[in-house]
Amino acid sequence: MKKGKKALILGLVLLMVLSLVVVGCGKKEEPQSGQTPAPAPEKPAPFKVGLVFDVGGRGDLSFNDAAYAGLERAQQEFGDRIQVKYLEPSGGGENREQLLRLLAEDKYDLIFGVGFMFTDHIAKVSKEFPNTKFGLIDGFIDGLTEASNVSALLFKEHEGSFLVGAAAGLKTASDTVGFVGGMKIPLIEKFEAGYIAGAKYVNPKVKVVSDYIGTTGEAFKDPVKGKELTLKQIKSGADIIYHASGASGIGVIEAVTAQKKLAIGVDSDQSLTAKEEQRPYILTSMLKRVDEAVYETIRVAINNEFKGGYTVFGVAENGVGYATNQYNEAMLKDISDKLEELKAKIISGEIQVPADKQELAEFEKSLPKN
């Protein structure tokens, strides 16, 4: 016991010395660090925008990066008028709420939570900070009104997926297309349902093979597994593969490039972020304009027009769609008229895109059989 006690005392002494050293060093530096934040007094206080990414953070070339693109655009546009900061939760994601709160405490005017995992945390923190505004991407909080300080930004991913599904259905040579999802959750099944519906709508013969990468959040950052599943699908005949798997999709694109098949990207226009040699193998991307939602929310908030409640981004609102760029122009040329026609039909309500398995089954029944 004596040993343990001594160890404790010595440990504490050492800890104290260590902390003194660190704090001491810090003190010496103080005048220097004090200079940096010196604000120019004549400028009005900038509008402070904070953003907390979901696990995975920047660099997933997909969902989180799309949110970042919106932030970046606002930064370019408003320059000095806004000040931005973005944070990323720890691996297990258990500190989302603390990060939101830190930003709120730091007097950020508008704070985004990127992903539906933030739903409960934003619900909690927004009550503690009634004067701070929050943007919740993909999440739904019950009972929001225009006067609320939370704006839920929701997307009809199934509509965009329908369009890229149609593109796949039209372009496939083997009448087999693939879908690689990240984590098996209703959100991703929505992508899948829309995609299958789109493919079958334009091509009744088409077969869709679906796989999910995993059962944890890790599924959105596992390119190796994404690649494996894609190769497996290609072996079973698929020649166009759509992924909704965040950073795991990097593996999907690698696999189609190696096998000279086609991939469909998700969330951002992945033709633009892919490597040069991969671009010819990206047919298009399902755009989920998280960037647009983020930018728009910042823009109205700066102009003091922030409204709480729900904003839904569908095909009609240009919130989802398919990507065209200089790399895939030629590939899409022969089908772009058809896609535009389908788009118009979705906007007019002639096509009701299914959002889950049940609706998909009904949708398939309603399709003419031939």
Partner 1 sequence: MKKRFKYLLLEIASPFIAILFAVLIGALVMLVIDKNPVEVYRTMFLFSFKRLDSVAIILFGMTPLIFSGLAVAIGFKAGLFNIGIEGQYLIGTFLAALAGFALKGLPTFIHLPLVILMGMLGGMLWAWLPIYLKVKRGVHEVISTIMLNYVSFSLIHYLIADVFMDKQQGLAPGVGNPIIRLPKIAATAVMPKMHSFLSNFGINLPQHVYLNWFLVLALLMAVGYYFLVWRTPFGYELRAVGHNPAGAETAGIKPGAVFFKAFLLSGAIAGLTGLSDLLSYFGYMDLDFPRGYGFTGIAVALIGKNGPLGIVLAAFLFAFLNRGAEGVQAFVGVPMETIVILQGVMILSIVVFSSVMGRYIRQQEKKEAALGSAAGKPGVTVGAQGGVK
Q: Where do contacts with partner 1 occur on this chain (CB under 8 A)? A: 3-4, 6-8, 10-11, 14-15, 18-19, 22-23, 25-26, 29, 33, 57, 85, 87-95, 97-99, 101-103, 106, 116-117, 119-120, 124, 128, 138-140, 142, 152, 154, 156, 183-187, 190, 214-217, 310, 312, 355
Both structure tokens of 164: 């890229």
Shortest distance (Å) from residue 252 CB to partner 1: 21
d(CA 304, CA 299) in angstroms, rounded, equals 9
Shortest distance (Å) from residue 267 CB to partner 1: 15
Q: Which one, 46 or 214, has the nearer CB to partner 1?
A: 214
Q: Which one, 193 or 331, has the nearer CB to partner 1?
A: 193
Shortest distance (Å) from residue 337 CB to partner 1: 28
Cα end-to-end span (Å), the chain: 84
Q: Which one, 10 or 361, has the nearer CB to partner 1?
A: 10
HSE (CB half, 13 Å, CA atoms) of 98? Answer: 6
Q: Which one, 88 or 267, has the nearer CB to partner 1?
A: 88
d(CA 322, CA 264) in angstroms, rounded, equals 9
Q: Which amino acid is at 276?
A: E
Q: Which one, 111 or 177, has the nearer CB to partner 1?
A: 111
Shortest distance (Å) from residue 152 CB to partner 1: 7
Q: Which one, 215 or 340, has the nearer CB to partner 1?
A: 215
d(CA 364, CA 347) in angstroms, rounded, equals 20
Shortest distance (Å) from residue 84 CB to partner 1: 11
Shortest distance (Å) from residue 117 CB to partner 1: 5
Q: Which one, 102 or 258, has the nearer CB to partner 1?
A: 102
Classify strands 133-137 and 176-183 as parallel, antiparallel or unpaired: unpaired
Q: Which one, 122 or 331, has the nearer CB to partner 1?
A: 122
Shortest distance (Å) from residue 173 CB to partner 1: 34
d(CA 141, CA 150) in angstroms, rounded, equals 9
Shortest distance (Å) from residue 139 CB to partner 1: 7
DSSP three-state, residue 86:
strand
Kindly list the distances between the CA atom of residue 130 and the CA atoms of 127, 143, 335, 355, in Å, as whole numbers in the listed order. Answer: 6, 15, 49, 34
Both structure tokens of 207: 């077969």
Shortest distance (Å) from residue 239 CB to partner 1: 30
d(CA 196, CA 160) in angstroms, rounded, equals 12
Q: Which one, 190 or 279, has the nearer CB to partner 1?
A: 190
Helix (H) or strand (E) holding 194: helix 186-202
d(CA 152, CA 284) in angstroms, rounded, equals 28
Kindly list the distances between the CA atom of residue 365 and the CA atoms of 200, 345, 347, in Å, as whole numbers in the listed order. Answer: 11, 19, 22
d(CA 101, CA 23) in angstroms, rounded, equals 26
d(CA 54, CA 158) in angstroms, rounded, equals 21
